[in-house]
Amino acid sequence: MRYWEGESTAVWERKWNVPYLEIHESLPSTNDRARELARERAIPFSVVIAEAQTAGKGRAGKRWDSPAGMGLWLSFLLTSRSQREPVLVPILAGLAVARAIEALCSGSEPKIKWPNDIELDGRKVAGILCEGEGTGTLVVGIGVNVRQAEEDFDRILQGRAISLEGAGYFVERGEFICALFSEVHRFLDPLPKFLDESLRREFECRDTLIGRMVSTDTGLQGRAMGISSDGALILEVDGILSAIRAGSVRVNSAQSKKQT
Ligand code: BTN
């Protein structure tokens, strides 16, 4: 598409401070298109947006519903120089999304569920899928539910997913991406080698798991204690600290947060 939300792609490129931008009416997945661009040696921070995705991908092989015009479905490229970055990038991208929501949705308090589900009012409003492409390039895919009403979500997601509008926040998508890329440049450009104390604090003040008993998808149960400098979730299991570096966790039912 040459025009989107009333402006040309050239104008959006400038406003978002990105070197290359493609906006499509529909794609199977913006991550797949971004991976193609990576193989064609596109430059870091090149961006792909689709109004609709026909095969949107979520984490752990799940599908990601991406109806036309209802959300922001976008991917961008990053250069990765070390083995550690693939763990840090989802955390940093999650922070960027949470801060963009805070910037545009006055009074909102988005939370981050490790590693990078973004929640509003306890429901998922945005998700991130990072994929490597060959050596040295990462694709960061971000999906933000913007306009869906409750009944627009798949039945299985009703009560668990929410859109910005559903939570009472009306945003211009172009402006949202402007805020998002300002945060993306702040957190991911250049990529830090580890999460220093101030980055860990940024995460932990939005961390929805901290102090709660959680279970990992491998069956480990423990209390969430925050994150380590390499982005791992720290669990206290029978008095011993364990670092969880992959997969996802769920909060055990019927328990409240420990007072800290
Ligand atoms: C999750 O499961 O939470 C991750 C969801 C990621 C969805 C986004 S939408 C844009 C990009 N393209 C995809 O196919 N997936 C990501």
Q: Which of 241, 199, 191 is nearest to 220 (CA)?
A: 241
Query: Closest ligand 1 atom to the C-alpha of 66?
Result: 9
What one-letter code names the amino acid at 80? S
Q: Cα of 73 to ligand 1 centre, how many Å?
A: 7
DSSP 128-183: EEEEEETTTEEEEEEEEE-S--GGGS-GGGBTTB--TTTTT----HHHHHHHHHHH
Q: Do 72 and 143 contact (CB within 8 A), yes or no?
A: yes
Instruction: Find the residues whose C-beta lies inside 6 A of ligand 1.
Output: 29-31, 53, 56-59, 62, 64, 66, 73-75, 117, 127-129, 141-143
Among protein residues, the one with the nearest Cα to ligand 1's atom 9 is 143
Q: How far apart are CA 156 and CA 162, in angstroms?
A: 12
b/e map 106-119, b = 16+ CB within 10 Å: eebebbbbbbbbbb
What are 133's two structure tokens?
């492409």
Q: What is the pLDDT along the chain (260 residues), one digit of tens a residue?
A: 899 999 999 999 999 999 999 999 999 999 999 999 999 988 999 999 999 999 999 998 999 999 999 999 999 999 877 666 667 999 999 999 999 999 999 999 999 999 989 999 999 999 999 999 877 899 999 999 999 999 999 999 999 999 999 999 999 999 999 999 999 999 999 999 999 999 999 999 999 999 999 999 999 999 999 999 999 999 999 999 999 998 889 999 865 444 43
